[in-house]
Structures are given as structure tokens and as C-alpha cells.
Amino acid sequence: MPNEPLNVPPPEPFPQMNVPIATDLIPLISALNHTYPEELALHYVVPNAPCNAPGCGYDPVTQLALNVMCPTCGGRGLITTDTVITVPASIDYPDEFTYQYLPAGFSLTGDVMAIVDSYEIGMYDINPETVTYYTWQGSDYILDKMEKGVINGIVYEYDIYLTKKGVQGGE
């Protein structure tokens, strides 16, 4: 839909379960989510990625490396990689978070809450549950819990509650 007008009010910052809303609004929400100013880094493990050493790779026929003498993969053709992607996110944290905007029954259980559009994760074809840790503004965070924002059965965003690594009840 080219020339989709963008001068509409932004969506509610939190998923509202029973709001009647047209499914074709989801691309518009994604476009708005993509303008989030923060950047959240997602670190995840790919356990069986093809070896990327020069002259090597995975041979599906032999189920071994293209170069069986390859020191990188030990001749397996597969390596475990730590991969990181950086996605736009909206980050709320207690110091700046305006609790007055919290809907009734909503509570922040982690140190920060990040909203990431499902499109941002979906384009990488990864399962967000496999993310091992997150980095935001130079600090590492682990997942506390993840909630999905759903409209008409379609997941359009992830609400990601994060706890700072190595901090237990810190100030």
C-alpha cells in the first residue's frame, strides 16, 4: 500500500487484547515500530551453522566438511556460532518510565522492558526464545519474560522484560 498516510496517532504502547482493529493496520504498526530510536542487540547461538572458513563448508552428501582437514570445524563442516543482530526497540526503564501510563494490572518485573516489532525478528528467521542475552547501552541483560502482542491472531510485537546481568536487587 504505497502512500499509506503516517499522520495517524501512534498505537497503544502495550498490546490490548480485545480491541477491534483491522488486520491491515499491522503493516502500519510495523512501520511505526521500525522508527523506534533505541537499538537492542540480540545474542543467540546457532549450534550447527555451516563452517565459514575459506575453502570449507558443509557437504550434505558426505555429512562432513568440504575440507576434512579444516581446523576451524575439526572436519565436521559445522560450527557453533555466536551471532548478534541489532534491532530497533522501544526501551522503558524505571528511572524514566512513566508509570502513570501503565494499564491496570500491568507491572514491570524486569529492569527494562523492550518492545520489538515481530517484523524485526522475523526478517532474521530466528526464534526469539533462543536469544541467550541482550545488550542495551553497553550493559548485558537476560530475559525475564517475553509477551507477545497479538492482533487478530497475528503476533505483531514482542514485549521483552529484561534483567541486568550480575545485578541482584541492585540499587
Give the three-state DSSP class for 134.
Answer: strand
Query: In the stretch 59-78, what mask flags binding to Zn ion with x, by CB under 5 A?
Result: ------x----x-xx-----
Smallest gap, in angstroms, from Cβ of residue 56 to Zn ion?
A: 3
Smallest gap, in angstroms, from Cβ of residue 39 to Zn ion?
A: 32
Nearest by Cα to 73 from 40, 48, 92: 48
- Does 53 sit near Zn ion (CB under 5 A)? yes
Smallest gap, in angstroms, from Cβ of residue 75 to Zn ion?
A: 7
92/146 Cα distance (integer angstroms): 14
* 57, 65 contact by CB (below 8 A): yes
Smallest gap, in angstroms, from Cβ of residue 88 to Zn ion?
A: 34
Selected binder of Zn ion within 26, 42, 56, 115 (CB under 5 A):
56
- Does 87 sit near Zn ion (CB under 5 A)? no
- Does 112 sit near Zn ion (CB under 5 A)? no
- Parallel, antiparallel, or unpaired for β 131-136 and 78-92? unpaired
Contacts of 106 (CB under 8 A, 6+ apart): 14
Contacting range for Zn ion; rule: CB under 5 A; set: 6-14, 45-53, 80-88, 119-127: 45-53
Question: Whose Cβ is closer to Zn ion: residue 56's or residue 112's?
Answer: 56
* 26, 154 contact by CB (below 8 A): yes
Binding residues for Zn ion, total number by CB under 5 A = 7
User: How many beta carbons lie within 10 A of that of residue 118, not counting itself?
Assistant: 20
44/110 Cα distance (integer angstroms): 20
Question: Whose Cβ is closer to Zn ion: residue 13's or residue 50's?
Answer: 50
Question: Whose Cβ is closer to Zn ion: residue 59's or residue 144's?
Answer: 59
51/36 Cα distance (integer angstroms): 35
Which residues contact Zn ion (rule: CB under 5 A)? 51, 53, 56, 65, 70, 72-73
